[in-house]
Amino acid sequence: MVTKEDLDKFAKSQDLNELEELLNEPNIFNILKIEKRETLHSNFLAWLLDPNGSHNLGEFFLKEFLKKAFEQSNNSQNIDSLNFTNALVKREDNHIDISILDDSNKWFIVIENKIYSKENGSQLNNYEEHAQKEYPNHLKKLIFLTATKTKPTNSKYTIISYDDIVTILKKLTKNKDYIKAKIYIVEYYKMLEMEFMEEESDIGKLTKQIYNQHKKAITHLFDFVNKQEVNDWIKNLLKKHNFILDNCKGKYYIRFIPKGMDFKEIRQGNPKNWPKWSDIDRIILFEFGINCDKNNKIYLSLIMGPGNKELRQKLYSLVRRNNQIFNPSGNLKDDFCALHDTFEIEKIDTKSITELEEEIEQKFNKFLNDSLPKIITAFEKEFTEKN
């Protein structure tokens, strides 16, 4: 169990301050939101690959990229001894993402770039046919550049990952001769690390270190924040439907009653010899339970609390008589009794907040349209006088 000392130690961690600084550090590529925009990645990489580009890198990036490609396919080429200053880098020529033509060395390179998109039909085969037809006497290299390490449908393509791009760029930035383009290159590979290989980034490594040192405090905070967020969302959902909310202080419970079910007779809860369970003193309330007793689920049930014994017996008998509507769990007790279990959502720790909200709303709408009208009708027959 987490202690106050655990939370204090976490809050005062110097690593936490360093992580916040890293997260707040501006990155031009994140600002422009190019992380998932394939064409913009291709534009930047084509610029780096161009030996005559304004980056002042010369052939460095192109040669390192080609060495990686031939290394991956176990086909060694003496690339360092070749001169690529006449290489022509094109974008979207014959629909190829990036093509490199070097007539001096008789090389033709095809690069198909995939971030999160999938292959389009037979495009890889089409590019291969184009290379064979147009450059029959050139050495041809087909490259499949992928952010997700997806395998190409055409086995003749060599896979290069964005991890490889990061490795090349880090090697490049260590050379002082290339200082002119360094700021752009560093920002680009940091963006790639965060988007495609977060665990290997400075932020990822520091995050892992902080988590290992403060696991209990972080787990407690996430649990608290997630429950609070879901709790607030459910309350807003209930307010939207104009339900009467109970102001109970339990951090795991939200209790309410529909106005159409707020009969005079049920306002007899909380006898003096019982702890107060409802601020609005209704003997029956619907209850949303959120991860109660660490059972990893959310439920909605109709609960009967402590109160007038005769009324409690009457309500319990009503529920038993209408077993086609209600499904009470267990026998009548002196304190609390579940009169109807509406729905459950299990394994909530495996779902995102958005997924939980969508599932709750779906099940809650079914409850509004199906179970609730039947429940209200059953109580209406029992109580002829409404409040």
Q: What is the distance between the alpha carbons of residues 297 and 349, in angstroms, rounded to a whole number?
A: 8
Give Cα separations from 344 to 243, 257, 286 (angstroms).
20, 19, 13
pTM equals 0.50
Between 27 and 338, the higher pLDDT residue = 338
* pLDDT tens-digit map of 63-111: 999 998 888 766 667 888 889 999 999 999 989 999 999 999 999 999 9
Structure-token pair, residue 226: 């997630």
DSSP labels, 270-329: --TTS----TT--SEEEEEEESGGG-SEEEEEEEE-SB-HHHHHHHHHHHHHTTTT---B
Which pLDDT belongs to residue 270?
58
User: Is residue 33 very low, low, confident or very high in pLDDT (cuts 50, 70, 90)?
Assistant: low
- The rounded Cα 339 to chain-centroid distance in angstroms is 37
Residue 387, pLDDT > 50, answer: no
Kindly tell me if the per-residue pLDDT of 132 is higher than 80: yes
pLDDT score for 31? 52
- Tokens for 144, please give them: 């499949």
Q: Which residues fall within 8 angstroms of residue 265, CB to CB, at 6 or more apart?
A: 311, 383, 385
The most distant pair of C-alpha atoms in the chain lies apart, rounded to whole Å, by 99
Taking the C-alpha atoms of residue 129 and residue 139, their distance in angstroms, rounded to an integer, is 14
Per-residue b or e along 303-316, where b marks 16 or more CB atoms closer than 10 Å to that residue's CB:
bbbbbeeebbeebb
pLDDT in tens, 162-210: 888 888 888 887 765 666 677 778 788 788 877 665 555 565 555 566 5
pLDDT at 282: 85
Most confident by average pLDDT, 42-51, 110-119, 204-213: 42-51
What mean pLDDT do residues 120-147 have?
91
HSE, side-chain direction, 13 A CA sphere, residue 281: 8
Looking at residues 277-285, what average pLDDT do you find? 81
214, amino acid identity: H
DSSP 8-state code for residue 112: E
CA distance 248 to 233: 16
Does residue 274 contact residue 306 with C-beta atoms inside 8 Å? yes
In this prediction, residue 13 carries a pLDDT of 66
| Residue 315 near residue 339, CB atoms below 8 Å | yes
pLDDT, one tens digit per residue, over 236-267 is: 999 999 999 987 656 678 899 998 888 887 87
Average pLDDT, the chain: 80
Q: What is the pLDDT of residues 297-334, one digit of tens each?
A: 899 999 988 888 888 888 899 989 898 899 887 778 87
